[in-house]
Amino acid sequence: MKASNLLHVPVTMLLSLVLFSCSKQDLPAPKLENTVAATNTAAAATVASNSWMSALADNTNIAAISIPGTHDSGARVEPVSGTAKCQDLSIADQLEAGIRYLDIRCRHIDNAFAIHHGAIYQNLNFDDVLTACKTFLTNHPKEVIVMSVKEEYDASNNTRTFEQTFDTYVSKYGNIVLGATVPKLGDVRGKIVLLRRFSASTTPKGIDATSWADNTTFTINNGNASLKIQDNYIVNDNSSKWSNVTAMWTESSTNSNSILYINYTSGYKPLIFGIPSITSVSGSINPQIETYFSTHTSGRYGIVPMDFANATRSSAILNTNF
């Protein structure tokens, strides 16, 4: 889902006062400090899920795997119910539950990255995300995290480009893979594989997904990687959204392993005056995911980013690899 569209819609006067009344200048700058400890509170319940990639062969290409993921992975804060929150689990707990695709939205502010969903600061910073990932990968060195990084909301008070600031994080953490091709597991275990949704002057800088289309199903063929992505995030009808999702799964399970499929099950329903309702979609789609994978228990279904991911749905997806 394109979060900037999600949170920049006309709303009623009351909601405007609560959610959208701040201008770019009025919004308080988030304090950039580590705000999340990488605790693994779900570990006891998800022992198999926190190390499932270790059972796959080193020569397995990431494009050939079913990978549970989260949409807008850091979005757990909202001032009005249903309008911005996309996840219940922290980044650390998502990883423990088997999630291996993170969708990270970064606001560039004060030469650093704050995690946002549209205008809403998520009380989380990129350091927090990378620290949680590094801790997890240190404890589970055979796992791999695919991370989509996208610029979010308005840049503020910077003296360098988004790319230059991103490079400082790469230098600091050192475990981010910047290869342009979709790798094999054995080449990237214990690391973060970058899926880049921001422009770059120096390449290779991750798998290039800068030509990401808006609210549709589309392909990216950039000479180094082939991707097919379903990201129909404005959902007027849940049945149509579900048809988009299952059509992609049918294709991914029968098509070439060289194509990386990314199939977003997330979205929002525009209510009166365009007010977004995320739970109107997730409340319908998520139970259908569980039902679908109760019968489709084996196959290649690509990356599946979800809203409000949990260990049950994550396990159902990852278990199709075995």
pLDDT in tens, 178-215: 999 999 999 999 999 999 999 999 999 999 999 999 99
Mean pLDDT confidence for 209-225: 98
Phi/psi at 219 (5° precision): -120, 150
- Which entry of 108, 116, 117, 140 is annotated as an active-site residue? 117
Mean pLDDT confidence for 2-9: 44
Q: pTM here?
A: 0.87
| pLDDT score at 166 | 98
Instruction: Give the model confidence (pLDDT) of 249-298 as tens digits.
Output: 999 999 988 999 999 999 999 999 889 999 999 999 999 999 999 999 99
Report the b/e string of 49-62 with b at 16+ CB within 10 A: bbbbbeebeeeeeb
Provide the pLDDT confidence category of residue 46 given band limits of 50, 70 and 90: very low
Mean pLDDT confidence for 46-61: 89
What is the C-alpha separation between 74 and 90, in angstroms, rounded? 7
Task: Return the amino acid letter for 254.
Answer: T
3-state class (DSSP) for residue 105: strand
| CA contacts within 13 A on the Cβ side of 45 | 12
Q: Is 71 a known active-site residue?
A: yes
Q: In Å, how far are 66, 143, 290, 318, 319 from 296, measured between CA atoms?
A: 12, 24, 10, 12, 10
| pLDDT score at 257 | 83
pLDDT cut 90: percent of the chain above it: 83
Question: Is the per-residue pLDDT at 34 higher than 90?
Answer: no
Q: Is 116 a known active-site residue?
A: no
| pLDDT score at 48 | 82
Query: What is residue 20's DSSP assignment?
Result: I
Mean pLDDT confidence for 54-83: 97
Question: Is the per-residue pLDDT at 39 higher than 60?
Answer: no
| pLDDT score at 96 | 98
User: Helices in the chain by DSSP H: which ranges?
Assistant: 3-6, 13-15, 91-96, 126-139, 162-173, 185-188, 238-252, 279-295, 311-318
Record the tokens describing residue 319, joined without a space: 């278990």
Instruction: Give the model confidence (pLDDT) of 103-113 as tens digits.
Output: 999 999 999 99
Instruction: Give the model confidence (pLDDT) of 117-138 as tens digits.
Output: 999 999 999 999 999 999 999 9
- Strand partners for 269: 277
| pLDDT score at 4 | 43
Dihedral (Cα; 90, 92, 95, 99), 10-degree rounding: 20
| pLDDT score at 306 | 98
Task: Return the amino acid letter for 229.
Answer: I
| pLDDT score at 219 | 98
Question: Is the per-residue pLDDT at 33 higher than 60?
Answer: no
- Which entry of 71, 108, 116, 140 is annotated as an active-site residue? 71
Question: Is the per-residue pLDDT at 226 higher than 80?
Answer: yes
Task: Return the amino acid letter for 216.
Answer: T
CB of 231 within 8 A of CB of 216? yes
Question: Is the per-residue pLDDT at 44 higher than 60?
Answer: no
Q: The tokens 């990270």 sit on which residue?
A: 104
Higher pLDDT, 245 or 34: 245
- Among 40, 52, 41, 75, smallest CA distance to 316 is for 52
| pLDDT score at 70 | 99
Mean pLDDT confidence for 153-168: 98
3-state class (DSSP) for residue 313: helix
**All residues at 6 or more sequence positions from 134 whose CB lies less than 8 Å from its CB, including other chains:** 38, 173, 175
Q: Where are the beta strands (DSSP E) in the chain?
A: 67-70, 101-109, 112-117, 120-125, 145-151, 176-177, 192-196, 207-208, 217-221, 226-230, 259-263, 269-270, 276-277, 303-306
Mean pLDDT confidence for 238-246: 98
Across 26-35, 50-59, 249-258, least confident range: 26-35
